[in-house]
Amino acid sequence: MEKEYPMVRVTWRDAQDGETGWQPIDNILNHDIAICQEVGWMVYFDAKKVIIMRSRVVEDTLREGGAHIAIPRDWLQRIEVLEPTSVWEFDEY
């Protein structure tokens, strides 16, 4: 890839569906939002959204990625930049 993107862990608040069927009102009133996390490359960030890409092709000739998610900026709680602390290398078969 021509541009290097930071590897991040994003924490955000998200909607959480309740159980189906009849529920006591107290259960409904106590229902909470979900706290979610995503790890990947932060390929876009502005005042409206952040886009995280989970997979990418590392060949210089290909600029492709996959499994991406756009998260509204208003939902964000935290973005942590992840730095490698060790590298595990494996022999080719």
DSSP for 15-81? -----SS---HHHHHT---EEEEEEEEEEEE-SSEEEEEEEE---TT---EEEEEEEEGGGEEEEEE
Give this prediction's pTM.
0.80
Q: What is the arithmetic mean of pLDDT over 7-16?
A: 96
Predicted pLDDT of residue 58: 78
At 48-59, the pLDDT tens digits run: 999 999 998 877
CATH of domain 7-81: 2.30.30
pLDDT at 1 exceeding the cut of 50: no
At 37-91, the pLDDT tens digits run: 999 999 999 999 999 999 988 777 667 888 999 999 999 999 999 998 898 888 8
Q: What is the amino acid identity at position 22?
A: W
Alpha carbon 83 to chain centroid, angstroms: 16
Alpha carbon 34 to chain centroid, angstroms: 14
